Amino acid sequence: MRLLLKYDSKTVKRPLLSSAALKTGALINILRAFVESRKGEILIEVPDEKAKEVEDFLISEGVSVLELKRGVTVDENCVHCGLCISVCPTEAINFDEERKILVFEERCIHCEICVKVCPVSALKLPEV
Amino acid sequence: MEKTINEINEKIKEGNVSVATAKEIKEIIAEIGVKKAVKEVDVVTTGTFGAMCSSGVFLNFGHSDPPIRMRRVWLNDVEAYKGIAAVDAYLGVTQLSETRENYGGGHVIEELVKGKEVELRAIGYGTDCYPRKEIETEISLEDINQAIMVNPRNAYQRYRAATNSSDRVLRTYMGTLLPNYGNITFAGCGEISPLNNDPLYRTIGVGTRIFLCGAKGYVIGEGTQHSPPFGTLMVSGNLKEMKPDFMKACYFPGYGASLFVGIGIPIPILDEEIASFTAVRNSEIETEIIDFGVARRNRPVVKKVSYAELLSGKVEIKGQEVRVSSLSSFYMAEKIMKELKKMIEKGDFFLTEPVDSIPRSRVLKPMRQKVMFVRKVMRGAIVLKEDVSLEEAAKVMIEKSINHIPIVDDEGKLVGIITSWDIAKAVAIGYKGKINGIMTKKVVTANPDEPIELAASKMEKHDISALPVVDVNLKVLGIVTSEDLSKLLAR
Please say which residue of A53, A68, A83 terminates a domain.
A68
| A52/A78 same-domain check | no
The per-residue pLDDT for B264 is 98
CATH code of residue A115: 3.30.70.20
Q: Is the peptide bond prior to B67 cis by the omega test (within 30 degrees of 0)?
A: no
Give bridge partners of residue B248 from the DSSP assignment.
B260
Q: Which of A75, A81, A115 to mutate to test the interface with B (most CBs of B within 10 A)?
A: A81
| A64/A39 same-domain check | yes
Inter-chain touch B331–A100, beta carbons under 8 Å = yes
Torsion of the alpha carbons at B277, B279, B284 and B287, rounded to the nearest 10: 70
Q: Map residue B126 onto helix, strand or coil.
A: coil
Please say which residue of A68, A89, A109 terminates a domain.
A68
The per-residue pLDDT for B472 is 86
User: HSE (CB half, 13 Å, CA atoms) of B141?
Assistant: 20
Which residues of B are part of the catalytic machinery?
A: 129
pLDDT < 50: residue spans in chain B:
none
| Of the candidates B126, B389, B377, B110, the residue with the CA atom closest to the CA atom of residue B251 | B110
Inter-chain touch A120–B176, beta carbons under 8 Å = no
What residues of A are in contact with residue B252 (Cβ under 8 Å)?
119
Q: Which of A76, A83, A84 to mutate to test the interface with B (most CBs of B within 10 A)?
A: A83
Distance CA B77, CA B71 (A): 15
Inter-chain touch B185–A121, beta carbons under 8 Å = no
Q: Which of B326, B328, B332, B338 to mutate to test the interface with A (most CBs of A within 10 A)?
A: B326
| Of the candidates A86, A94, A106, the residue with the CA atom closest to the CA atom of residue A43 | A106
Torsion of the alpha carbons at B344, B350, B351 and B353, rounded to the nearest 10: 180
Inter-chain touch B323–A79, beta carbons under 8 Å = no
* pLDDT (tens digit per residue) in A113-125: 999 999 999 999 9
Cα of B177 to nearest chain A Cα, Å = 8
What residues of B are in contact with residue A116 (Cβ under 8 Å)?
176, 253
Contact B153, B195 (CB under 8 A): no
Phi, psi for residue B449 in degrees, rounded to 5: -100, 15
Distance CA A109, CA A115 (A): 12
Cα of A99 to nearest chain B Cα, Å = 5
DSSP symbol at B194:
G
Inter-chain touch B185–A81, beta carbons under 8 Å = no
Cα of B12 to nearest chain A Cα, Å = 29
Among the partner residues A86, A98, A119, nearest to B184 by beta-carbon distance: A86
Cα of B21 to nearest chain A Cα, Å = 15
| A20/A43 same-domain check | yes
Long-range contacts of B312-317 (CB under 8 A, 24+ apart): B313/A85, B313/A94, B315/B184, B315/B289, B317/B163, B317/B181, B317/B184, B317/B289
Inter-chain touch B185–A86, beta carbons under 8 Å = yes
Phi, psi for residue B145 in degrees, rounded to 5: -70, -60
Inter-chain touch A99–B330, beta carbons under 8 Å = yes
Q: What is the 3-state secondary structure (H, E, C) of chain A?
A: CEEEEEECCCHHHCCHHHHHHHHHCCCCEEEEEEECCCCEEEEEECCHHHHHHHHHHHHHCCCEEEEECCCCEECCCCCCCCCCHHHCCCCCEEECCCCCEEECHHHCCCCCHHHHHCCCCCEECCCC
Inter-chain touch A82–B175, beta carbons under 8 Å = no
Interface of B with A (CB under 8 A): 49-51, 102, 175-176, 178, 182-185, 248-253, 258, 260, 313, 322-332, 334
The per-residue pLDDT for B255 is 92
Distance CA B31, CA B26 (A): 9
ipTM strictly over 0.90? no
Domain housing A61: 2-68
The per-residue pLDDT for B491 is 58
Question: Which residues of chain B does CATH 3.10.580.10 include?
Answer: 374-490
What residues of B are in contact with residue A77 (Cβ under 8 Å)?
248
Interface of A with B (CB under 8 A): 77, 79-87, 91, 94, 98-100, 113, 116-117, 119-121
* pLDDT (tens digit per residue) in A8-61: 999 999 999 999 999 999 999 999 999 998 999 999 999 999 999 999 999 999
Binned at pLDDT 50, 70 and 90, residue A102 comes out as very high
Number of residues in chain B: 491
CATH code of residue A24: 3.30.70.260
The per-residue pLDDT for B369 is 74
For domain B374-490, the question of CATH label 3.40.50.300 is answered with: no
Distance CA B122, CA A102 (A): 45
The per-residue pLDDT for A69 is 85
The per-residue pLDDT for B285 is 96
Among the partner residues A81, A87, A113, nearest to B329 by beta-carbon distance: A81
Nearest-5° Cα angle at B259, B189 to B57: 120
Please say which residue of A24, A51, A68 terminates a domain.
A68
First to last CA, chain B: 70
| Of the candidates B240, B64, B84, the residue with the CA atom closest to the CA atom of residue B137 | B64
What residues of A are in contact with residue B178 (Cβ under 8 Å)?
86-87
| Of the candidates B285, B330, B279, B334, the residue with the CA atom closest to the CA atom of residue B26 | B279
